Amino acid sequence: DGDNAAAMRYTEARMTAVSRSLLEGIDQDTVDFRPTYDAEDNEPVVLPANFPNLLANGAQGIAVGMATSIPPHNVGEICDALRHLIKFPNASITKLVDFISGPDFPTGGVLVEGRDSIISAYETGKGGFRVRSKWEVEKLKGGSYQIVVTEIPYQVQKSRLIERIADLIHTRKLIFLGDVRDESSEEIRLVLEPKSRNVDPAVLMESLFKQTDLETRISLNMNALNSENVPQVMSLREVLRAFLDHRRNVLVRRSQFRLGKIDHRLEILEGFLIAYLNIDELIRIIREDDHPKQVIMSTFDLTEVQAESILNMRLRSLRRLEEEGIRKEHYELIAEREGLVGLLESEDQQWQSINGQIKEIKALYGSGALGDRRTEIGDIPEEIEIPLEAMIEKEPVTVILSAKGWIRAMKGHGVERADVKYKEGDEENFVVPAYRTDKFLVFSGTGRFYTLPVDRLPGGRGFGEPLSLMVDLEAGTSIIEAKVYEADNKLLVASTEGRGFVVEEKAVMAQTRSGKKSLNVSDSYKAKFCIKIEGDSVAVVGQNRKLLIFAVEELPEMARGKGVMLQKYKDGGLSDVKTFTLEKGLSWRWGQDKNRTETDLIAWQGKRASAGRMAPNGFPKNNKFY
């Protein structure tokens, strides 16, 4: 839940078995020591570490110009990989992943990363792992059900997770979810109640995975100090190899330390044995000489250590029983010394010893309640198409885009335009009925399309926000068209030069702020038209008042380009364009409130890029259809 740790005065510390393993042999010259920061004491440069702590418990940290992120792993799997690497030093990452199948988090969960992705991450030392919560469906009376989450991803705070889910319910972004309850005790138990029993549990959970920390991505950045104290991003094999090399170094130093202790003890024992053989003479020397130490050394050819040990010997040690014990200890130490010498001279024996140590680690920590894998290895989740209505309520709104580019979404359809207020000097441009679940398509004078989720548009209070804050729209750029995105539609886009083409709306759907370029323009001509293809014919009228009608089929269908000439001009450019059904006739505004439809259009029909003929009598003087 993210609770703070208790104050120091309320806590006690006691080393666990793992801690003792990390320190094992630290007093036997296994590692180097250095002065502490205040030079009052010494501290180990690195721990002997008879436990693969870096991978087992993981590590996270940020330093100057670098960071590390290593998730925890299963100790038993690490030990299996280490023993395999001892036997096959050049084992591939693919083979090692057969042993270490991925991170193992203490909070469980389900690892849903593909094997290829896991191998790639371990090969490079960088990557990530998708982890999902573990959940199950509990059947209730009447055919209803509830979803129970029993495990949540590593380092996700349960309290914040619940707050996030509750907030999504409150803001109607999870309209299929009715309620969330925390029934946790020592075990995690989050209860999710759907609004209807007809909601598919998989769809509901998929929407939660996308919007909450019920699914997280754990990063991998195996950046660690190598044996030369240089930061290095290591692969899985390099990390395992570094641990094995360290353990071999510890083994050698510990053996050499023990060998030195044995040699020292053998020297003393050999002096004792000489003393037992000459006990009467020793007693006489000690009683009569003023400097017995030098006399003993010269008389029996003993070292200073041997002489000092004899002089410090207690009288009770002169018993026959003690002599036999010393001879037995001397024999055992000789045998141990031979074993250590053989170990130091044989690399194979050293790896056999390390292999035995790793086997003991697995026996202690790699099985049972402590060592069993907690994070389940799952399959890559299938793509479940989540209807937008599962995350956003299909609420009717009216999108208003002003002449100066201020946008907002007012609740409901049928907004009274006269009641809509604009900033001083601004006015109405586009008023479009839509739903919260829609995408809003905007086409600018630069020939670029932009896509905006309607649910993210500012509300109807106030004047909204400038469109330029939501997309990368240059100041002063005109908006040619604004409409609700319809994937099956086709659009005709054209420039002032009179060039254009047909484009599918799904081809101009933009996922980024920069939008998607479609119609190529220049400084001398801009994008001017973006109309929905309705019918089988295109009517174009130029600034020279000439009208041309041709089939839609003559226009190329493309995603981006300059387009083809719609109509040939000697002077001026394109004034207006319209698509219609030839059989029904061509309509245009007649007077202030009437429309006129002309069905006899043979005189104006021709091929694309023709000059056309003068528009019929009564055609609007502004050379516009409407």
Here the tokens at position 301 are: 């050819």
Strand partners, 131: 111, 216
Angle between helix 320-345 and helix 347-365 axes, rounded to 10 deg: 100
> Residues 6 or more apart from 265 whose CB is under 8 A from it?
329, 333
* Summary mean pLDDT of the chain: 91
Element (H, E) at 501: strand 499-504
User: pLDDT: is 95 or 394 the higher one?
Assistant: 95
Residue-wise pLDDT tens digits, 203-232: 899 989 999 999 999 999 999 999 898 999
Residue 10 known to be catalytic: yes
Query: What is the model's pLDDT at position 391?
Result: 57
- What mean pLDDT is predicted for residues 163-178? 88
> Residues 6 or more apart from 334 whose CB is under 8 A from it?
266
Query: What is the model's pLDDT at position 316?
Result: 66
Distance CA(473)–CA(492), nearest Å, equals: 22
Query: What is the model's pLDDT at position 581?
Result: 94
Catalytic site residue from 10, 37, 276, 450: 10
Residues of the chain with pLDDT > 70, as a percent, come to 97
Residue-wise pLDDT tens digits, 446-467: 999 999 999 889 988 889 999 9
Query: What is the model's pLDDT at position 11?
Result: 84
Query: What is the model's pLDDT at position 322?
Result: 76
Sign of CA pseudo-dihedral 513, 514, 517, 522:
positive
Residue 49 has pLDDT above 60, yes or no: yes
* Range in 26-30, 318-322, 446-450 with the lowest mean pLDDT: 318-322
Residue 548, φ and ψ in degrees, nearest 5: -135, 135
Distance CA(87)–CA(31), nearest Å, equals: 26
> Residues 6 or more apart from 298 whose CB is under 8 A from it?
none
Query: What is the model's pLDDT at position 455?
Result: 86
Residue for token pair 């002997």? 48
Residue for token pair 């609004």? 195
- What mean pLDDT is predicted for residues 278-305? 88
246: left (phi over 0), alpha (psi -120 to 50) or beta: alpha
Residue 369: Cβ-neighbour burial (10 angstroms; 0-12, 13-18, 19+) = exposed
Residue 285: Cβ-neighbour burial (10 angstroms; 0-12, 13-18, 19+) = middle
CB count, 10 Å around CB of 286?
Answer: 14
Verdict on whether the full-model pTM lies above 0.75 = no
Query: What is the model's pLDDT at position 287?
Result: 87
- What mean pLDDT is predicted for residues 244-264? 96
Residue 392 has pLDDT above 90, yes or no: no
Place 315 in a pLDDT band, splitting at 50, 70 and 90: low
Residue 425 has pLDDT above 70, yes or no: yes
Place 339 in a pLDDT band, splitting at 50, 70 and 90: very high
- Sequence-ordered alpha helix ranges (H) in 366-470: 368-371
Place 617 in a pLDDT band, splitting at 50, 70 and 90: confident
Query: What is the model's pLDDT at position 584?
Result: 93
What does the angle CA 604 – CA 610 – CA 612 come to, to the nearest 5 degrees? 35
Residue 90 has pLDDT above 70, yes or no: yes
Distance CA(392)–CA(171), nearest Å, equals: 9
Query: What is the model's pLDDT at position 314?
Result: 78
Query: What is the model's pLDDT at position 1?
Result: 77
Which residue from 445, 446, 444, 620 is spatially nearest to 541, judged by alpha carbons?
A: 620
Query: What is the model's pLDDT at position 319?
Result: 66
Instruction: Compute CA 300 distance to the chain's CA centroid, rounded to the nearest angstrom.
Output: 75
Which residue from 146, 126, 297 is spatially nearest to 218, judged by alpha carbons?
A: 126
- Sequence-ordered alpha helix ranges (H) in 470-580: none
- What mean pLDDT is predicted for residues 537-566? 94
Strand order in the sheet with 215-221: 59-63, 66-70, 215-221, 126-132, 110-111, 376-377
Place 388 in a pLDDT band, splitting at 50, 70 and 90: low
- What mean pLDDT is predicted for residues 593-602? 89
Query: What is the model's pLDDT at position 482?
Result: 95
Residue 390 has pLDDT above 60, yes or no: no
User: pLDDT: is 416 or 148 the higher one?
Assistant: 148
Place 162 in a pLDDT band, splitting at 50, 70 and 90: very high
Query: What is the model's pLDDT at position 607?
Result: 94
At residue 613, the 3 state secondary structure works out as: strand
Distance CA(236)–CA(225), nearest Å, equals: 14
Report CA-CA distances (Å) from 89 to 49, 84, 237, 404: 21, 8, 9, 69
3-state percent breakdown (helix, strand, coil) of the chain, nearest 5? 35, 25, 40
Report CA-CA distances (Å) from 62 to 10, 65, 69, 129, 232: 30, 8, 9, 20, 14
